[in-house]
Amino acid sequence: MLMTRATYYLVRALVALVAIPFHEAGHALAAWLLGDPTAKREGRLSLNPFAHFDLLGTLCMVFAGVGWAKPVSTNPRNFKNPKWGMALTALAGPVANIVLAYLAMVLWKVMYYWAPVNQATYYLAYFLQYMVLMNVSLAVFNFIPVPPLDGSRILLVALPQRMYFGLMRYERYIMVAMLAAVWMGLLDTPLYYLNNLVWELLSLGTGYIDKIAYSAYFVMTGTVV
């Protein structure tokens, strides 16, 4: 069954409507649990896409494969340990994407083995497959330790404070350079291998579904192995 270009972009847009809010709400939830209510007060502790979307960033995500959302505000002074509070809040976004990717892979495998084959299940399976792909890509990309990506905030626990905040002064320029490198394909190879690594780990983590499906097949067919 062929996927038209319009349908392909529609699926990407629908996945972005889920993946981006999960990422940003993950930041907001972690900050709130760690003692900073700033993002919650601003309405960011929500899965409502309109609470998080930047229009240009979302369009870039759908049509160019890389984009951005409105940053989640935090106040480090509200954390008991500001350095760890910022790092854990940053970590929560990519982790939320990994969790969502795992759940999508579980549903995708369940559909693969047990759902009837028709046009509706075909598109739903494609949606779930792309849900895994986009969430893995978001998580891996955001773990890159350069500002303003989440990985740079995690660096705060490892770098001397003076060096870290000196680096943050140039985060806009570094981000422009990072986006240019992505659009020019300079990061395609390392991101490809990292995405595949995370995909394989998720596949191993959902391997029990494969075992259940194979066991059910052997029971139904009377096959002995």
Which residues, including other chains, have CB under 8 Å from residue 71's CB and lie 6 or more apart?
148
> With contact defined as beta carbons under 8 Å apart, do 202 and 105 qualify?
yes
Name the token pair of 162: 């003076």
The stretches of the chain forming alpha helices (DSSP H) are: 5-33, 38-41, 55-64, 82-114, 119-142, 150-154, 161-168, 171-183, 188-205, 207-221
The pLDDT tens digits of the residues spanning 173-206 come to: 887 888 788 778 888 899 999 999 999 999 999 9
Give 162 or 145, the one with higher predicted confidence.
145
3-state class of 71 per DSSP?
coil
Name the token pair of 218: 């052997």
Confidence of residue 89 (pLDDT cuts 50, 70, 90): very high
Which of 24, 42, 171, 200 is an active site residue? 24
> Does position 225 have pLDDT exceeding 70, yes or no?
no
pLDDT at 179: 75
pLDDT at 2: 62
> Does position 105 have pLDDT exceeding 90, yes or no?
yes
Tell me the mean pLDDT in the region 75-89: 91
What is the share, in percent, of the chain residues with pLDDT greater than 90? 48
Distance in angstroms (rounded) separating the CA atoms of residues 21 and 58: 11
Tell me the mean pLDDT in the region 134-146: 91
What residues pair up with 69 in beta bridges, in sequence order? 53
> Does position 21 have pLDDT exceeding 70, yes or no?
yes
Q: Tell me if residue 24 is catalytic.
A: yes
pTM: 0.89
pLDDT at 43: 93
pLDDT at 222: 63
> Does position 97 have pLDDT exceeding 90, yes or no?
yes
- The count of other CB atoms within 10 Å of the CB of residue 111 is 17
> Does position 3 have pLDDT exceeding 90, yes or no?
no
